[in-house]
Structure 1
């Protein structure tokens, strides 16, 4: 099983002091082996640890189109997210500065007076606040009788439509759009919409789209047309007006005015709504089944305008929706050749990547088992060198595959992870890796931003992408297994470079290798999330010497008892409990009851999950709850106790650059290909653990062998 859903509110981990975090395991078979293809058997998928979401994370699992895609100039058709209403209010605020909008007449009128009030508004933007109505106001303004009145008026006005908004038709359309939106979100307040409105709205849309001037290719017509097209979707009349969609796609060229291009974009909304499984009443699929030329016109729209493809254009946005054809049982036969042609016609990366990868998603996810037909069975293998053009080795235990990182960024990232390794062992005080754990190396995969992560990571590594990244431990007992953290740069923090969640995720790797027996799934047999996520947060913030403000704020709320936090799972908790309170629980236990932590980790390392659970729930039980509450009070006042010192170990001071001492480092270690860099240190009696090896007392000699020449490496020794 792979891809436990990512949880959590976004939190920022600065690379500055430090870079990434990852928990990875040795890479074994290529990513392609994790996919099921025709005539092959897929390898077991790596186990995954959720990663807190990035601010850009999508709510679904389909790859995003580019962020530069055209945005709606007003709220999208109902049903939609509440954010649209907020957007309308913001737009109204801007418009109101230049236009005197008074909606009092609209709010209090009915019948012909309502129609006149709407037409008299000085600008169509004056209707935007109507999308925000709720409660009694919503019911009074948008009850069905009001909607029928305005719809009938639109039908009458359409007979003489002049190709612009001189007669106020735009305000009538927007009132109807707002009504559907508000009723969709406040049906109890507004009441049901029935056959009377359906009959009326069909008559008004019939009349508008039949009006000769509604086909003018002008900015003036487009301003009203694009809202009328959206009204099709609002009213769930997608199938009845599939011909309007066909007409727009057939006529579109890159020379169309902006508002007309927006009408084509909104035709995409009609298409998308028409395939919505919750809209069985839209009739869109039936319309495409009855007229196959709609689909071929749609595909021709893409190829005819392919010069525009850049990821954020209307051709990409509407074209990638063609994939819905192969996801529908009744349309799959007509959709397959069209989708196949586009997938194989355009490059997988660059300007055409968003189109091709979205179509690949439909083919892979909704027409499963047919990758040989589409020619995509080897796509994961093909994509890795095309997308991840940077391949950098930090050391024998750590490699970075990246889409775009500079030499300095790579060096800083490697240094951060290597130094964090020593810091982790200082806190955990382990005796080496768990016997049989073969996850000796980690691969960090860094996409350039969340957009590229969403576009490619799902197929390259077989993961969900509605998250901030994914750590895959795999089976640490399997030879050839590869632990991997698949991440992306936090592009919203640029020019500061940071790989999202790296220090947190690297702790997962270390924790899995040195604290938790078996694979990720084994560690989930009892509630361990308080520790798994708590230690990742604790190490991340402590290592970077960073104050965890969100957790300290939570401490003051005293939401949970310590004994309750021992029961945290991914299923029963939100991101605040998982991350903020996991941190607080782990910090308290490490600082106040280190011997209990040592006992607990001994059981985790032995895979004694039931024994660990007995320790937490019976031996400790509620015994520390009162003290934890007292500690929370102090922590909320910024007196959480002493953290271990983070950052790099100090430089070694002995004149001989080959010699190390306790807890120090040497920078700029180098060796040419085929040669060694020799080092040594003198251990006193009683040392139980050295991070390099399991040492005897006395002089210890170690060396780095250069399979390839290296320079600028930092080496740290640490022992207790």
Structure 2
């Protein structure tokens, strides 16, 4: 994993297994294709099952002129208004409100992607929907803690961000935040619904109207500070992310150009730094405040010596350092020397295998000074998500990440970040081998940095697929299960980029790499020669030629994998080195079903590997007899030793794994035991996984620090920030242009003293397309602030 950025602190891993049980039902007639033919669309949406939601978000482009037209959505708005007006907290009412608001969010999501061609919803429509959210949140029933009621509250509060009208509901959302207490904190779904305020604040970061409203209402910031001060008890609990985000998103208001608001925010951040020191229970609040000051007010950060504090925090958190015989240096918080040496052994064995597979001769590519790599091992997912981005700049909505840096710089530090999924004697480091292969691939196969390798496309299949192949070789059952569906041609897989779903990126990438290595090694050697010399345009051209040439052969080859015997690695993507007793346990694919039978007291065991980027994960059982389903995360489950279950009489059960507050299911291995309380002859197990988030792709809102004379590559979905420090009077020139096959409408806004928005700026370049240029004279040292605004996502 090499990219993306988190916005919110997820819950601890233990809370990733929060469940809700429901009885299974027949397939609902609520898919998008059903709705466009429905005689009663309001009823069908209101009664829809969650399994239909994915189709709403993935509606075709023509939906903009049909089901998702403004006239059509007005029907939904009127129905939602009726439900909100009559809401009394009843389960059926809550479900209808949750479903109707989900449909609205899906419509806004789908229309956003096609707005260049079909336009977008009117301001009046968006305001009317936000006013409905405000009306709902002011109802006393909005605070009910039942499952359906929480779904309704969460949906209506999240809709505020979808329609981008937070000022109309800010007051009521702050009132809802005030309902957080020790009782409601036990319901993490409710807490996550309250967290939608901070999602919305982050989502409005480039909107001047939001800052203007905050400036008109200084009491809003006061209420946020009071919330933080009154809820110190939540620190150290699974709900502490809500307090953390209150500080973090308040601090993000430093992006404002309103001096009064900016000074108010700085005062709050500095008070937080004083109240919560490094090494105290409130350390994470210090981190949240420091992070925002360093990002959006670096001059004040220098005055407060926050860089020194950051170094102090790193030294406190990662006191252990162990040097391997090879290039790896293991840094950790809780690994013993024996465990660190075991990690070294794993990496050294993988490096020997790597050189054998790619015939590198152990000769690095030219101009590569990454002769060492730091392996930073966090003690848990919670620590990884909380600290790693702040200290090292990696994204944390994943199972680990390699940061190559600039290999040609002799002072560069190559580093990959990982975390442990168990604190016992086993090593238990998630994706250790996968991330190390990224390091080896960059040092011995691919000239230049990460941005160089992606510059002409047709590369992601190799980057992620090769790392998966080097870990699994044969027997990657989760990928083999996908092969039977034959969803993609080889040409399709070769064209994969990081905007595609995780199955296509990792598992289909693995299949493509394995096919090429096993069947066309000469072509692989030729590609690697191009990679080692940095000829990435030629790489892309060669890959485009090879795809059609081998499409038919690849399709035939896929059919040979279904009966393949596992190799020495049994699909253990997440247990690189632990001693799990599951060698004979079958893998169960994502979005897969199978039938089981068992005698009384017998158990059928299987596991499901969940990769990065999964937003929804449920496992359902239905059938005869009386079976019970038990689950554990990263450890084998039994009926007598499990972490979660929804067992009851009969065989109809559902385990729903709740996403972390960043919207993603914790990646890793989930073990299941299907146990016969009474014998059963036909129980079907169904896994349902969604790998695309029902929201626009989120930008990394961390300002990117530019270096004079050096180009950088970045994707923009909506808004990105960049800053350039000018140390003397000078003329500053900035070019912005599309790279590779991507293109989009991107405008450039400049702020001399503070961050610009699309409505409030000192200088702008707003030409058609994504080729922009600005030139300006800077008369005194300081930062120049750049805001990049994408009219069309993905540029």
Answer yes or no: same fold by TM over 0.5.
yes
Question: What is the CA distance between 1:252 and its match in structure 2?
Answer: 8.1
1:372 matched to which residue of 2?
Answer: 302
- Preserved contact between residue 130 and residue 166 of structure 2 (Cα < 8 Å): no
Q: 2:468 corresponds to which residue? A: 537
> How large is the RMSD of aligned CA atoms in angstroms?
5.7
Deviations 1:16-43 (A, max 9, x none): xxxxxxxxxxxxxxxxxxxxxxxxxxxx
Give the whole-Å Cα distance in 1 for the aligned partners of 2:393 and 2:193.
32
> What SS does the corresponding residue of 2:393 show, helix, strand or coil?
coil
Give the secondary-structure state (helix, strand or coil) at the position aligned to 1:326. helix
1:342 positional shift: 0.7
2:382 to 451, 455, 468: 451
- 1:388 Cα offset (Å): 1.4
Is the aligned partner of 1:549 residue 2:474? no
- Of 299, 321, 324, 2:225 maps to 299
Q: Deviations over 1:300-347 (max 9, x none)?
A: 342344354225345445454432432444432321110222134213
Return the offset for 1:170.
9.5
Give the Å deviation of 1:291: 3.8
SS at structure 1 position matched to 2:560: helix
The partner residue of 2:417 within 479, 486, 493 is 486
- 2:441 alignment partner, one of 511, 520, 525: 511
Offset, 1:366: 4.4
* Alignment of 1:277 onto 2:204: yes
Question: For 1:225 and 1:560, how far apart are their aligned partners in 2?
Answer: 39
**Residues 225, 260 of structure 1: 8 Å contact kept:** no
Aligned mates of 1:397, 1:625 — CA distance in 2: 39
Trace 1:561-640 onto structure 2 (pairs within 5 A): 562=490, 564=491, 567-568=494-495, 570=497, 574-609=501-536, 624-638=550-564
Give secondary structure in 1 for the equivalent of 2:307. coil
| Structure 2 counterpart SS, 1:399 | strand
Residues 264, 576 of structure 1: alpha-carbon distance in 2 compared, 3 angstrom cutoff? closer
Q: CA deviation at 1:415?
A: 0.8
Say if 1:465 and 1:369 are closer, same or farther in 2 by CA, change over 3 A: farther
Q: Which moved more, 1:464-473 or 1:522-531?
A: 522-531
**Cα distance, 1:288–1:547 mapped onto 2, change above 3 Å:** same
- Aligned-partner SS, 2:438: helix
SS at 2:407 equivalent: coil
Q: Does 1:400 align with 2:330?
A: yes
Residue 401 of structure 1: how far off its partner (Å): 0.7
Q: Which shifted more, 353-362 or 380-389?
A: 353-362
Residue 245 of structure 2 is aligned to residue 325 of structure 1: no
Change in 2 beyond 3 A, CA 1:558/1:351: same
Q: Judging by fraction of residues, say which structure has more helix.
A: 1
Q: Summarize the Cα distance change of 1:295–1:395 in structure 2 as closer, same or farther, 3 Å threshold.
A: same
Per-residue deviation, 1:399 = 0.8
Q: Partner of 1:590: helix, strand, or coil?
A: helix
Once residues 476 and 199 of structure 1 are traced to their aligned partners in structure 2, the CA distance between those partners, rounded to angstroms, is 49
Alignment match, 1:499: 429
Secondary structure of the residue that 1:516 maps to in structure 2?
Answer: coil
Whether 2:384 is the aligned partner of 1:384: answer no
Cα offset for 1:142?
8.2
Distance 2:187 2:436 in 1: 50
Secondary structure of 2:440's counterpart equals helix
- Number of residues paired by the alignment? 521
Distance 2:547 2:82 in 1: 67
**Corresponding position: 1:423 with 2:362:** no
Q: Counting strand residues as a fraction of each chain, which structure ranks higher?
A: 2
Kindly indicate whether structure 1 or structure 2 has the higher relative contact order, using CA contacts under 8 Å at least 6 residues apart. 1
Question: Structure 1 CA distance, aligned partners of 2:170 and 2:407?
Answer: 54
Conserved? CA contact 2:205–2:255, under 8 Å: no
Distance, in Å, in 2 between the alignment partners of 1:627 and 1:273 is 49
Asked whether the 8 Å contact 2:11–2:382 carries over to 1, the reply is yes
Q: Is the 8 A contact 2:318 2:333 kept in 1?
A: yes
Q: SS at the partner of 1:395?
A: coil
What residue number does 1:470 align with?
Answer: 401
User: CA separation in 2, counterparts of 1:260 and 1:536?
Assistant: 39
Which has the larger displacement, 144-153 or 628-637?
Answer: 144-153
Counterparts of 2:134 and 2:126 in 1: how far apart (Å)?
12
CA spacing shift, 1:91–1:458, aligned 2, 3 Å = same
Instruction: For structure 1, list consecutive stretches of 5 or more residues without a partner in the other structure.
Output: 1-5, 7-49, 52-58, 74-86, 95-126, 155-164, 649-720
Shift of 1:293: 3.4
Q: Distance in 2 between matches of 1:240 and 1:642?
A: 59
CA–CA separation in structure 1 for the residues paired with 2:541 and 2:251: 52
Shift of 1:465: 3.0
Asked if the contact 1:142–1:179 (Cα under 8 Å) also holds between the matched residues in 2, the reply is no
Structure 2 unmatched ranges of 5 or more: 25-45, 57-67, 111-120, 578-795
